[in-house]
Chain A
Amino acid sequence: MRTVPQRLEGHGCAPGEFEGEVVVSRQPFGFWQGLDPQTGLVIDKRHDACGQSLVGKAFVFPYGRGSTGTPGIFLEAVRNGCAPGAIINVSSEPMIIMCAILAETFLQVRIPVVDGLPEGTPAFRTGDRIRVNGSTGVIELLARHDQGRSA
């Protein structure tokens, strides 16, 4: 069985701290038309996380598919308490980083963003518990959800 790293160092893109569960997606994600800001559910039928709740979870996906309306949906989710609690990417485009900066500036909510993860890494699986520091970029694995489950 693959050894799982307990600690990853990414690049801190937006400050904030998070501790909780992970939702892992292997596909790029667009918040506009991808997330229902009233429920926090992924609604993009073409997406592998469709139907999952992102509320208070660390959402791991490779990179954003950015409509310029992205922060509109993201901030609406933040205001409703339905946003992810942290975002972890292979590469965080400016649109994603802006979501976090705007949420902090206009809604006083910090959502850490970390990027620089290796593409396709199986480091986390949906349901694992992690700790994220958006300033240092450090991500710690706290607990496995289920060792036998495939990612």
Chain B
Amino acid sequence: MYLSDAEQRMLDGHEGVPRAQAMAVLARLGDACGADRMVPIASAHLVASSYQIAGEAGIAIYEKLVAQGAKVAVRTTSDPGSIDFARWQAFRTPPDYAARQVVISKLLDQMGVIPTWTCTPYTTFNVPRFGEHLGWSESSAVVFANSVVGARTNRLAAYVDVCAALAGRVPCFGLHTDAGRAGDVLFELAPDLTSAFADHYFPPLGYLVGQAVKDKVPVITGVPGATFDQLKALGAAAAASGSVALYHLVGITPEAPTVEAAFRGKSPRERIRVGLAEISATMAQMGGGDGPVDAVGIGCPHASIDQMRRYAAALQGKRVHSNVQLWVCTNTTVEQMARTMGYAQTIEQAGGKLMVGTCHNDCPLAAWRFRRLATDSGKFAYYTPTTVGTECLYASTDACLAAAVTGKVER
């Protein structure tokens, strides 16, 4: 692939070993994927910031990079870590495990990474703009940035995101190109679904679409409207059950004013009709059980201030059941605002916990021996059976909050 003079100088080591290594990795990725050149990026977001993902290898790599003077070249933020930095004891994290996450934190600080510890950097200190190129890796954030904002990023791998941050560039292929952003498969919601579309249908719709298209670009018609948090939930589910990095919601997302625009002149390779029956079947697959639960996990992706308000309103004057751990996952920015506004106190007075800067998927939770977890998240529904080792019950946000109080999911 073509490298500019500046990029070649970087590759040749004129800007130090870390940038040379970074450029070498990015050039090989570009060659493997048919990129013709690099594009400058506005920001990076790192998934190998959690000890669970980075491990000792990550610490060794970061130590070496820091010793060689590595500094990020663009605005760079961190994904959730593997601990709640302020309250890891309350989540029964082993002290030696927590200490290793703190080591990673200090190394990232030295490289100039902004410690957001969130999967929703786009709500805090890493807000992408339409058409900007990015080097992001967190799958739920990638799909949000591409689909809802119209920024451009592939799903980078752990450490490739670090290379992008150090070089300030990524190879130009896939979702960085106009052709790569064209729709592949058309999903048409049936009238029975469109007319009854509800908040808790967004995650199963994403889950269904992700399973059907894997890494292709879905175009969806018939969704009557969507809030910021609903778009976040839809994308996170599609990125977990498949590898969806971009979806188009016709009439809602910026590159899909019409079906034709979303396909950029191509014809759909496949049309799939989705009705209430398909959504119900998907919800059953995500976790259709009812009855007692010992954990309720919400805030995946990390809860916004709007969601905190909603949780607080539902829990006002209530008491979380003694058999249930209700954990609300979010980041420090939202936590601080929720505390200022009193929502955090309401949730805590009810017996819920704020789990900040991490989540059920990133934090070691074996000590809790959870058996049945209720969630309103498609991503949690996909991963927690493995990460937490629980049976998962998918339910609406309101049903999850009710289950936290009564100790059981009622259908």
1/0 contact trace for A99-136 toward B, CB 8 Å? Answer: 10110011100000000000000000000000000000
1/0 contact trace for A6-35 toward B, CB 8 Å? Answer: 000000010000000000000000001100
A107's partner among B53, B57, B386, B387 (CB-CB below 8 A) is B57
Answer yes or no: B127 CB below 8 A from chain A CBs: no
Answer yes or no: B296 CB below 8 A from chain A CBs: no
Q: A32-B53, A33-B387, A68-B155 are in contact. Are A105 and B24 (CB under 8 A)?
A: yes
Interface of A is mostly: helix
Interface size on B, residues (CB 8 A): 34
Please, which residue of chain B has its CB at the minimum distance from the CB of A68? B137
Q: Tell me which residues across on chain B come within 8 A of A66, comparing CB atoms.
A: 155, 157, 243
Q: Are B56 and A71 in contact (CB under 8 A)?
A: no
Q: Tell me which residues across on chain B come within 8 A of A97, comparing CB atoms.
A: 29, 32
Answer yes or no: A44 CB below 8 A from chain B CBs: yes
From residue A86, how far is it (CB to closest CB) to chain B in Å?
17
Q: Are A72 and B29 in contact (CB under 8 A)?
A: no
Q: Tell me which residues across on chain A come within 8 A of B55, comparing CB atoms.
A: 37, 72-73, 75-76, 79
Q: Are B21 and A69 in contact (CB under 8 A)?
A: no
Q: A68-B137, A79-B56, A94-B33 are in contact. Are A106 and B157 (CB under 8 A)?
A: no
Q: Are B53 and A101 in contact (CB under 8 A)?
A: no
A101's partner among B29, B47, B48, B64 (CB-CB below 8 A) is B29
B32's partner among A32, A68, A71, A94 (CB-CB below 8 A) is A94
Interface size on A, residues (CB 8 A): 28
Q: Are A79 and B60 in contact (CB under 8 A)?
A: yes
Give the residues from 5 to 34 in chain B that come closer than 8 angstroms, CB to CB, to chain A.
Answer: 21, 24-25, 28-29, 32-33
Give the residues from 226 to 251 in chain B that come closer than 8 angstroms, CB to CB, to chain A.
Answer: 243
Q: Are A75 and B58 in contact (CB under 8 A)?
A: yes
Q: Tell me which residues across on chain B come within 8 A of A52, comparing CB atoms.
A: none
Nearest 3 CB-CB pairings of A with B: A72-B53, A76-B55, A79-B57
Q: A72-B53, A72-B159, A76-B56 are in contact. List 14 more A-B contacts (CB 8 A).
A: A66-B157, A68-B47, A69-B48, A69-B158, A71-B159, A72-B47, A72-B54, A76-B55, A94-B33, A98-B25, A105-B21, A105-B25, A106-B21, A107-B57
- Can you name 27 A-B pairs with beta carbons within 8 Å? A66-B155, A68-B138, A68-B139, A68-B161, A69-B47, A69-B158, A70-B157, A70-B158, A71-B48, A71-B157, A71-B158, A72-B54, A72-B55, A72-B57, A72-B58, A72-B158, A75-B159, A76-B55, A76-B57, A79-B57, A79-B60, A94-B29, A95-B157, A102-B157, A102-B159, A106-B64, A107-B57
